[in-house]
Amino acid sequence: MNTTRIILLSILMSLPVFQSQAQNQTDEILSSVLLKFDEIAGFEADALIKVDVDFINIKDREVKISFTSPDKFDFDIKGLALLPKNGFKMEYMDLLRSEYTAINAGPESIREQNTVIIKLIPESIDSDIILAQLWIDPVLARIVRMKTFTRSSGSYLIDFFFCSPDIILPNKLEVVFDIKNINMLPGSMMNDLMSDGKLKDDSVPDEAKVTVEYNNLQITKK
């Protein structure tokens, strides 16, 4: 077990959690989310992507998005180098299918929805994800918010918005992510942001926001 995982487990285990009962509830919630999503054989949609970051003007993009179960995801976002690609490819479903340690951190209200916070630590030492925190509606069995900490591209927060209580897929995402990792930026932009080979302290904001709106969503069930 690597050092990062040991530290995370030690910290999270020290949180006030409801031991065996909470663990049973946690397993049931995660299983219900995965089972509900696995009812989907695939989907297609038009996506409108809006990027909000202070130091650059990026035009809105319209793209096609498609998914075929279990993991074929086609989402052409070429030219949008700032975006954390994993956040748009539903890697949380891959995480739920993998080996992990799950910790119930208790209830929290999100946008007037009752949710349960569940923290996931991947078992694999090769996982790019260090920690994922999910806010899950236990009644509707869907993820309302997710905060992910990664090794390669910092952290990002995704809020999921739904147009109907009986639909598992969101019609809108709002993603807030770190952009201090200078390797994410195009080369021409780097020249303007670097001074003597170093990043100018006040040249790049800490975060950027991306909104993805889905239209003409067509879902195929198994």
Look-up of token digits 């021409």: 188
For 32, the enclosing helix (H) or strand (E) is helix 19-37
- For 115-164, what is each residue's pLDDT tens digit? 999 999 999 888 888 999 999 999 999 999 999 998 887 888 999 999 98
Candidates 118, 120, 162; CA nearest to 138 is 118
State the pTM of this model: 0.79
pLDDT above 70 covers what percent of the chain? 72
Structure tokens at 35: 């089972």
For residues 221 and 39, what is the distance between their CA atoms, to the nearest angstrom?
6
Spell out the domains of the chain, with CATH numbers in brackets.
3-221 (2.50.20)
Ranges of residues in the chain whose predicted pLDDT is under 50 = 17-18, 182-200
Structure tokens at 196: 């003597």
Is the CB of residue 49 less than 8 Å from the CB of residue 63?
Answer: yes
